[in-house]
Amino acid sequence: MNEIAKRYRKYLKSVFDFMAKEGYTKMPYPKVILDRTDQGDDIFMKTAYFDPESNGIRIFINGRAIKDCVRSFCHECIHYRQQLDGDIEKSGYTSDKITEDKNLVHLEAEAYLKGNMAFRSWTEVEKKKGVLK
């Protein structure tokens, strides 16, 4: 495993463990892909996504701060839990665009709220511990 992957793995494992312990997501660990695709500085670039078919999370890391990537991971971990709980299937969503599919709105709203709250709580806990650097 290269140095970049090791660094990310440390943070992703820590935040996932925290989120599982606090009920934001569930075990087992999802498959995570760190994608180095160069998307330039496109404001509409993908940052991360959850793939319900593989139960995997892809995080685009090129040109992004690690903190932003970990925050994106937290958002996708909520979608991972939604998949494990059957919420994604039950929602009946048909598109990945919230302007086209109102069934997707509540899934995204939960992921934004709970993902960011989990990330913020995790950072506060980790700062107090002073272990992760």
pLDDT tens track, the chain, 133 positions: 588 888 899 999 999 999 999 999 999 999 999 999 988 888 998 999 999 889 999 999 998 999 999 999 999 999 999 999 999 888 887 778 888 888 889 999 999 999 999 999 999 999 998 877 6
Interacting residues of 49 by C-beta distance below 8 A, sequence separation 6+: 57, 58, 76
pTM: 0.92
Predicted confidence at residue 1, as pLDDT, reads 59
Residue 26: per-residue pLDDT: 94
Environment class of 53 (CB within 10 Å of its CB; exposed 0-12, middle 13-18, buried 19+):
exposed
- Domains (range + CATH), the chain: 3-128 (1.10.10)
- What was the pLDDT predicted at 133? 65
The CA–CA distances, whole Å, from 122 to 14, 31, 91, 94 equal: 9, 21, 29, 33
Cis previous bond, 30, omega within 30: no
At 123 the pLDDT is 96
State residue 100's pLDDT score.
Answer: 87
